[in-house]
Structure 1
Amino acid sequence: MRLDGKVALVTGSSQGIGQVIAIRLAEAGAKVVINYRSHPEGAAETVAKIRAMGGECHGAEGYCDDDHAFSIGADLSILADIHRLVGESIDHYGQLDILVNNAGIEKHAPFWEVTEKAFDAVINVNLKGVFFTTQAVVKHLMATERSGKIINISSVHEDLPFPNFAPYCASKGGLKMLTRDLAVELAPYGITVNNVAPGAIETPINSELLNNQAKLNALLKNIPLGRLGHPQDVAGLVEFLASDDANYITGSTFFVDGGLTWNYQEQ
């Protein structure tokens, strides 16, 4: 599943799942644009890890330069930032082939206490941001008459209710339908669109859960495989969907959840 000669943009790749995805795509031969909003130090770390792999030549072309990755700060809730992110990515590498829409946020609150500010923050990043980042990349692919891969990092909560996270569930449910719609609309142009839907993944964002043994044990009872997922569990699937091995796959959601979705009971 080599990605030699490909360029990938991974949003929200300064930490967590996004960081591991970016490194995994680079390991497969792609050059990668690292995007961050508020963690430039994390983005720099991701870039450094990828460039450290440049000690050996990669792929059939045997490129050995240290320009396998660079970072761009952008807030995906702002349309001008999205256009700048995509434009600078293309200016730097001359092309984009793979877009991984990983950036996302969530806000915890009972439905009746959700503020307009909190609602807008979640929808603007998780749905609006994905919509217009994808649009910008698709325009580039169409203008250059090239195929491409759009991979959205969704969530089990595109299907599974999650009380006290109504805006998040709405954003992921919207992403599920957007993926299906774009898969049909963009197929004639050789552009595939798929969702990867993680369940409970061991990342810094879940530090509170990891430090609460009672809550962790309750969650693990809902996961048939009996463990939390690791970022690499998600990254491996993204690598596959970005490769030519997945050229006939579009409009689908792939759950990476240890069986959680079909075994979940709200505590």
Structure 2
Amino acid sequence: MRRFDGLTALVTGGGSGIGAAVVRRLADEGARVAVVDRDSEQARAVSTELGGLGLALTADVREEAAVARAVADAVGHFGGVDVAVNAAGYGAAAEVVDMTLEQWRGVMDVDLSGVFLSTKHQARQMLRQGRGGVIVNIASTNAEQPAEGLAAYCAAKAGVVMFTQVAALELAAHGIRVVGVGPGLTETPATAALLQTSGALAAYLDNIAAGRPAQVAEIAGLVAYLASPEAAYISGETVYIDGGLRARSYPTLRQRRGEAYAGSAFLRGQA
């Protein structure tokens, strides 16, 4: 048997990047998968690859009603939810003195509140079913590793790690495991522009012991393991997969932006 034969999974942010790779991996191992994304076309494209194992759902994780509806639609179509993976994420780069409240809230609403709302309604469904389940929240190495210009993102991902621990404590008695995955630099559509910035890739690779970014399939493999019975004794933990990035230092803002970096807009009198 494949590890997820007969089970239903729901993946937020499943239309691209890490989320799409997770969808494909879980389906390859037998799961029926509800692909949830705010981009309906991307959700449909990934779901179509799965044939009868896929269901495309459109939802913005910032909106509780939309999240609750997505869970309900997955249950209506497949009969339940056994595994949930919260991969929807968003990043905005700005130094603290330049960052607007709108930018801060934008990241927090997706990366932290979105994980909270998704976990809340996924866990409610698992409690109704009474047969346990697994929720995997995608964090980041930036939960532990500070990065200039990424105050909101780092704070949100650190929040995901602690939220995962608390949810795991609350749900353990009901047979529901909650775990986190913390990827390092990974090749996705979201990081494509960064990796094309002059000097940025070299700066990262100098600090990654493995000497390369992660591939989305590698992140999906870890998610699949943690969601499987093989990881039955793992709960509340965030497992990092970063090629050794946390063992070294994180590239500076100047290194990441290259020649385009002119310093804080506030200090230059432009904010």
**SS of alignment partner, residue 217 of structure 1:** helix
Q: Is the counterpart of residue 108 in structure 1 residue 81 in structure 2?
A: no
Mapping 1:21-40, distance limit 5 Å = 21-37=22-38, 39-40=39-40
State the partner residue of 2:160: 175
Percent of aligned pairs with the same residue? Answer: 37
Q: What is aligned with 1:221?
A: 206
**By how many angstroms is 1:88 displaced?**
0.9
C-alpha separation in 2, matches of 1:47 and 1:101: 17
1:169-215 CA distance string (max 9 Å, x none): 11111111111111111111111111100000011111123323521
2:20 aligned residue: 19
How far apart are 1:41 and its partner, in Å? 2.4
1:105 is displaced (CA, Å) by 0.5
8 Å contact 2:145–2:250 — kept in the other structure? no
Q: Distance in 1 between matches of 2:115 and 2:250?
A: 30
State the distance in 1 between where 2:251 and 2:195 align.
18
Shift of 1:266: 3.6
User: Which of 69, 73, 90 is 1:88 aligned to?
Assistant: 73
Give the drift of 1:19: 0.4
Residues 190-229 of structure 1 mapped to structure 2, 5 A cutoff: 190-229=175-214
Q: Is the 2:203–2:251 Cα contact (8 Å) retained in structure 1?
A: no
Whether contact under 8 Å (2:207, 2:251) holds in the other structure is no
Aligned to 1:121: 106
Q: Partners in 1 of 2:23 and 2:242 — Cα distance? A: 20
Q: Following superposition, which runs of at least 4 residues in structure 1 exceed 4 angstroms of deviation?
A: none
Which amino acid in structure 1 is aligned with residue 18 of structure 2?
A: I
For normalisation by structure 2, the TM-score amounts to: 0.90
Q: Structure 1: 5+ residue runs without aligned partners?
A: 52-66
Structure 1 window deviating more from structure 2 (212-221 vs 3-12): it is 212-221
Moved more, 213-222 or 229-238: 213-222
Partner of 2:47: 47
Query: Residue 7 in 1 paired to residue 8 in 2?
Result: yes
Taking a change above 3 Å as real, the CA distance of residues 213 and 164 of structure 1, as seen in their structure-2 partners, is closer
Distance 1:213 1:116, change over 3 A: closer
* Residue 136 to residue 263, structure 1, CA distance change in 2 (3 Å): same
Question: In structure 1, what is the equivalent of residue 171 of structure 2?
Answer: 186
Question: In 2, are the aligned partners of 1:77 and 1:121 still within 8 Å (CA)?
Answer: no
Gaps of 5+ in 2: 253-271
How far, CA to CA, are the matches of 1:265 and 1:201 in structure 2? 14
Report the AA paired with residue 50 of structure 1: L
